[in-house]
């Protein structure tokens, strides 16, 4: 079934609405795969959701994202929501709704945003200042509900936030060769987000996630 899901997520066009049958298949797959991972590899994400992932093939990974109701970006990570990825992102909204924005960044000495690079260790992520400043211009601003799939190319700056929670997305990532470090953009003068420990879930968080899955 994983092969069918990968094919579904890689389909064209880049933004599309799935049939009810395909959406039900994806939801069933999501529940079956994330359930066993909640007690083992699932983690808190610095952008206010929980996630788990597993390798598929050829460097591709399937990721399972959940935004429980009432979860927010931690104060220590505020301002770091605008970022890019070093892989192609193929996302399907399974429940709730996400606001998805994309941006263009132009290097400028008097830019109002500062460019940071993300560094990863085994259990945490941290930000490194580059000294570069940019002017940021919004390109798109869309709300995607359940059944909508969208694709983001590597290096495209974006921001995704749950506007109707609880929310869930099934994501396929496809690596890009020789990709640079991922980037985060913060307003000039704002402190960089602190290092974030991507810890395992507590018993209470696991119970909350399982309840969410029952109603997905």
The predicted model gives 114-133 an average pLDDT of 85
Q: How many helices (H) and strands (E) does the chain have?
A: 3, 12
Domains held by the chain: number: 1
Higher pLDDT, 157 or 192: 157
pLDDT at residue 49 in the model: 95
Per-residue pLDDT, averaged over 25-44, amounts to: 97
pLDDT bucket at 73, cuts 50 / 70 / 90: confident
What b/e sequence results for 151-183 when a residue is b if at least 16 CB atoms lie within 10 Å of its CB, and e otherwise? bbebebbbbbbbebbbbbbbbbbbeeeeeeebb
Domain that holds residue 92: 2-214
The CATH code of the domain that includes 206 is 2.60.120.10
- 155 pLDDT band, cuts 50/70/90, is very high
Peptide bond into 86 cis (omega under 30): no
**What pTM did the predictor assign?**
0.92
Strand partners, 149: 16, 92
> Could you tell me if 36 and 4 are in contact, meaning their C-beta atoms sit under 8 angstroms apart?
no
Q: Which of 78-87, 115-124, 126-135, 140-149 has the lowest average pLDDT? A: 115-124
Q: State the Cα torsion 11-15-18-23 to the nearest 10°.
A: 90
Query: At residue 173, does pLDDT exceed 90?
Result: yes
How far is the C-alpha of 163 from the C-alpha of 4, rounded, in Å?
Answer: 29
């Amino acid at each position: 079934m994983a092969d069918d899901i990968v094919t579904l997520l890689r389909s064209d066009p880049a933004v599309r609405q799935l049939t009810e049958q395909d959406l039900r298949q994806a939801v069933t797959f999501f529940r079956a795969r994330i359930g066993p991972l909640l007690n083992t590899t699932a983690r808190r994400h610095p952008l206010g959701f929980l996630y788990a992932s597993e390798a598929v093939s050829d460097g591709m990974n399937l990721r399972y994202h959940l935004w429980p109701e009432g979860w927010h970006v931690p104060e220590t990570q505020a301002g770091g929501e605008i970022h890019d990825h070093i892989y192609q992102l193929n996302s399907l909204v399974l429940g709730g709704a996400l606001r998805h924005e994309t941006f263009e960044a132009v290097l400028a000495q008097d830019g109002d945003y500062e460019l940071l690079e993300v560094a990863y260790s085994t259990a945490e992520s941290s930000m490194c200042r580059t000294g570069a400043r940019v002017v940021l211009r919004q390109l798109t601003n869309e709300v995607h509900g359940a059944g909508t799939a969208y694709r983001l190319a590597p290096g495209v700056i974006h921001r995704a936030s749950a506007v109707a929670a609880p929310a869930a997305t099934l994501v396929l990532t496809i690596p890009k060769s020789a990709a640079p470090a991922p980037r985060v953009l913060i307003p000039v003068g704002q402190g960089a987000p602190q290092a974030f420990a991507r810890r395992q879930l507590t018993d209470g968080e696991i119970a909350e996630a399982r309840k969410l899955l029952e109603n997905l």
